[in-house]
Structure 1
């Protein structure tokens, strides 16, 4: 454990068991402490105002307001609390909306502890990057943006950040997909989906294997690198 400040977390999920699992995951992570839970969007907004957490684990599917609406209301009120969207929603429009509203990251359920821990570590490094800095140099700025994938990387021409996030989401939870399956889920052409998937392979975020069967070319299947 370091001398860095402890970061507080509010867990928002309408499923009690899921909220309990996510709470245990957070509590396993050094430097983090859960200070509350909420099962509705309205409760989440009031608890964020009351507890002022550093980070919110926010589900999209809530019984009253959607998680995206909660995020938009927070930003509309000028609240810049960190938000990690944690949801089963894979729709590209939802991913884009979360990014546009200022989510720090987007994690698709179900996931393993290590998947969440990696995002928490990235958030922590970002949160602490400018601590004690009044005037940031470029190295400070790069340290602030890079851990969450928003800084150093420049996507190849023709690829967008929002679509890249949506494609990456299809590989969450240990899934293995073909370019055709990815294209169907995200709403892309197969050729475009394959460009994104091959980009992640080139960056060593994903791996590809050839699946043989029947006649013709083997199918290329992609999964996240473990």
Structure 2
């Protein structure tokens, strides 16, 4: 299973930083290391920390970093750290340089939680895929780059999986289930953590049960119908 993804928030508005932290902490598999308000603080933290973040959530408008100065410094000094912009900067020149610099995503404020969640779940899915393989095929790259299957054979399920079961989504579901508590998780919680609908999560969970990679059990609450929960085997 992939390790917890470490995130550094660089945002001069403490209220926005707190909101971003709260959003991140609702998503499975992520940990916020710290919040920084200035470029100087951020660079000092990165130079002194024993554990670098995997991902930086970066605003363009940092008081002591005009334009994209901090972004350029991060790309130069810490090229292995991925960056997601969360900013109000809409200028096409800024967007273009960010894209040339290899940002993971570019989110405009105010950010909708569903859009925010999608960015993080796709980023985690990318890390899972790259950690699980020594080589990738074109379908893997299409999913990594575009989040979709654009190959001519997209109607057929890859890797011998049944139709309607995608390898990348399956890995996300398995990863979420592996990190669950001893009581297991229901389809709603799995779907939210993996960034898919309840019905999609249930389909993948039932596939894992049929493949004997998970087991289902009924959880009886105080009132109402019993709830079906799932545990990784």
- Take 2:150 and 2:96, find their aligned partners in 1: how far apart are those partners? 20
Q: Retained in 2: the 8 A contact 1:58–1:67?
A: no
Alignment of 1:181-192 (within 5 A): none
TM-score, length basis structure 2? 0.58
Cα distance between partner residues in 2 of 1:22 and 1:134: 33
Q: For residue 42 of structure 1, what is the aligned residue in structure 2? A: 40
- 1:56 partner SS: strand
Q: Residues 125 and 137 from structure 1, CA distance in 2 versus in 1: closer, same or farther, beyond 3 angstroms?
A: same
Per the TM alignment, residue 152 of structure 1 is displaced from its structure 2 partner at its CA by 5.1
3-state DSSP of counterpart to 2:107: strand
Instruction: Spell out structure 1 runs of 4+ moving beyond 6 A.
Output: none
Where in structure 1 are there 5+ consecutive unaligned residues?
Answer: 154-226
Instruction: Give, in angstroms, the shift of residue 74 of structure 1.
Output: 2.1
Q: CA offsets per residue over residues 185-219 of structure 1, 9 Å max, x none?
A: xxxxxxxxxxxxxxxxxxxxxxxxxxxxxxxxxxx
Q: Once the two structures are superposed, what CA deviation does each residue of 1:97-146 show, in whole Å capped at 9, x if it has no partner?
A: 11111111100011222221111111111222211322333333333323
Larger-gyration structure (1/2): 2
TM-score of the superposed pair, with normalisation by structure 1? 0.60
Alpha-carbon contact 1:127-1:144 (below 8 Å) kept: no
Shift in Å, 1:65 = 1.2
Deviation of residue 68 (structure 1)? 2.5
Aligned residue pair count = 149
User: Offset of 1:91 from its aligned partner?
Assistant: 0.9
Is the contact made by 2:139 and 2:150 (CA closer than 8 Å) also made in structure 1? no
Structure 2 portions without partners, runs of 5+: 152-233
C-alpha root-mean-square deviation of aligned residues, in Å? 2.2
